[in-house]
Structure 1
Amino acid sequence: MLQDFKVTKRWPAANPDVIQLYSLPTPNGVKVSAMLEETGLAYEPHLVSFASDDQLTPEFLSLNPNNKIPAIIDPNGPDGAPLPLWESGAILIYLAEKSGKFLPEDPAKKAETLQWLMWQMGGLGPMLGQFGFFHAFAGKEIEDKRPRDRYLTEGKRLLGVLDARLEGRDFIMGEDYTIADIAAWPWIRAILTAYNAAEEMELSSFSNVMRWYETCSSRPASHAAVNIPPRP
């Protein structure tokens, strides 16, 4: 039962029969909000505020011991049992399989889609996130610019990988929008918004990335997702 999860004591469910989303509209949070909006699966969002260290509370840690957003509880998981889940990539795969959307059924194409999802999870997201810390947040006060420059260089390299992949393709997997795209475009948005670093990243030079980003971010689900859950 959903009420058996300690996290629901701090974030009570108005509708315990739908997926419960515990998140914040950071790039990783937007991934899952966008996926839920795209699939049409019923869900209820709960704001996990970093400003008040919600992610460090015993209630949230009981759901995600890694103290990161997003996390979900699906009250109607496999075999009808509630399923708690964290890590945005794992959640995207789960929701894709639950809904039957945004992950190819063909084994080879599915494996290739997951390859690009893992590329985002292990490369694009962490490198851009570290760059953002040293460029726009607390790390910007560090006089030694070598950490910032290290992540800036690696971020550009990864953007080049993505730009090459998108040459002649509408989306990462070709004509079809998949979880590989949903995982990646919120990080390009972070460069433009949270980090205000389009010039430093030379984003305009990655024409395929920018074309693809505009397509992805202009989807109705994407428009909604960037404010789910709404910040206070």
Structure 2
Amino acid sequence: MTIQTKPIEAYSLPTPNGQKVHVMLEELGVPWTYHRIDIGKGDQFKPEFLAISPNNKIPAIVDPEGPGGEPISIFESGAILKYLALKFGKFYPADRREQVKVDEWLFWQVGGFGPMLGQNNHFNVYAPEKIPYAMKRYSDETHRLFRVLNTQLEGRDYIAGDYSISDIASIGWAQSWERYGVTRDEFPNALAWIERLNARPAVARGLAWGKDVPAKSLAEDKEAHKVLFNQR
């Protein structure tokens, strides 16, 4: 069993992608320190953050007790989840076939469920010009992905067998189901799964982490939009 003596440094925000790492660290019960990266003010472009996250996105972590006892920095939420799962031997199966299942659904989330729901949110909430085609395109894709999730959860408590990083990856996005027009009648398995995960104390703590800091709504913060959108 791996013992963590120095806190893992998490550079993040309480966004769906940041929440993945918060939940994972809370589930592991290891010491960790939260560094708030205010993306609306451009913290993600500071040299010290780019040194650990060259894609200027949160979350990122620094583990002072990385492989060989040397520090390691990791960006991309899926990579962080897998690194932590392998290091501490939790929430990732030992069986190779079961690993494939977890990887499939982890990559399903990072490649589709998150990005498509993110585009839905952008065109329906943030975009200064309401483009009906884009709004319908991403709303339809959101519902298709919730249907995929709902079908996968038929007769299952968790996405890929036992509770794993595939569940942790998806809950931050799925918990906001109401804003996407998803209904309980339409996707009962997915909604039951969301409630099942929210009942886990570590998930509840992870989802709430960082929300105690008041922040102006990004939907209304036009100055933040200049930082976040339409940059090359």
Task: Compute the TM-score of the two structures, normalised by the length of structure 2.
Answer: 0.86
CA-to-partner distance for each residue in 1:142-186, whole Å, 9 max, x for gaps? 232111110111111111111110000010123x21000000111
Q: 1:149 is matched with which residue? A: 136
1:185 to 171, 176, 194: 171
Q: CA separation of 1:203/1:151 partners in 2, compared to 1, >3 Å: closer, same or farther?
A: farther
Residues 78-93 of structure 1: matches in 2 within 5 Å?
A: 78-93=67-82
Q: 1:215 is matched with which residue? A: 196
Query: Is the CA contact (8 Å cut-off) linking 1:103 and 1:178 kept in structure 2?
Result: yes
Q: CA separation of 1:65/1:203 partners in 2, compared to 1, >3 Å: closer, same or farther?
A: farther
Query: Is the CA contact (8 Å cut-off) linking 1:89 and 1:183 kept in structure 2?
Result: yes
Q: Which amino acid aligns with 2:45?
A: L
Q: Which amino acid aligns with 1:39?
A: L
Cα distance in structure 2, aligned partners of 1:100 and 1:77: 14
Unaligned 5+ segments in structure 2 are: 215-232
3-state DSSP of counterpart to 1:38? helix
Q: CA separation of 1:177/1:146 partners in 2, compared to 1, >3 Å: closer, same or farther?
A: same
Query: Is the CA contact (8 Å cut-off) linking 2:17 and 2:58 kept in structure 1?
Result: yes
CA-to-partner distance for each residue in 1:63-94, whole Å, 9 max, x for gaps? 11101000000000001010000000000000
Cα distance in structure 1, aligned partners of 2:95 and 2:61: 27
Q: Which amino acid aligns with 1:100?
A: G
Q: 1:99 is matched with which residue? A: 88
Cα distance in structure 2, aligned partners of 1:114 and 1:132: 26
CA RMSD of aligned residues (A): 1.4
Query: Is the CA contact (8 Å cut-off) linking 1:120 and 1:184 kept in structure 2?
Result: yes
Q: 2:120 is matched with which residue? A: 131
Query: Is the CA contact (8 Å cut-off) linking 1:113 and 1:178 kept in structure 2?
Result: yes
Unaligned 5+ segments in structure 1 are: 1-15
Q: 1:11 is matched with which residue? A: none
1:43 to 10, 32, 42: 32
Query: Is the CA contact (8 Å cut-off) linking 2:117 and 2:173 kept in structure 1?
Result: yes
Cα distance in structure 2, aligned partners of 1:21 and 1:46: 6
3-state DSSP of counterpart to 1:63? coil
3-state DSSP of counterpart to 2:143? helix
The alignment-based identity, stated in percent, is 45
Query: Is the CA contact (8 Å cut-off) linking 2:124 and 2:130 kept in structure 1?
Result: no
Cα distance in structure 2, aligned partners of 1:58 and 1:126: 26
Q: 2:208 is matched with which residue? A: 227
Q: CA separation of 1:23/1:42 partners in 2, compared to 1, >3 Å: closer, same or farther?
A: same
Query: Is the CA contact (8 Å cut-off) linking 1:152 and 1:201 kept in structure 2?
Result: no
2:59 to 70, 90, 103: 70
Total equivalences in the alignment: 209
Cα distance in structure 2, aligned partners of 1:170 and 1:206: 14
Cα distance in structure 2, aligned partners of 1:96 and 1:53: 30
Q: 1:13 is matched with which residue? A: none
Q: Is residue 166 of structure 1 aligned with residue 153 of structure 2?
A: yes
3-state DSSP of counterpart to 2:175? helix
Shift of 1:203: 5.1
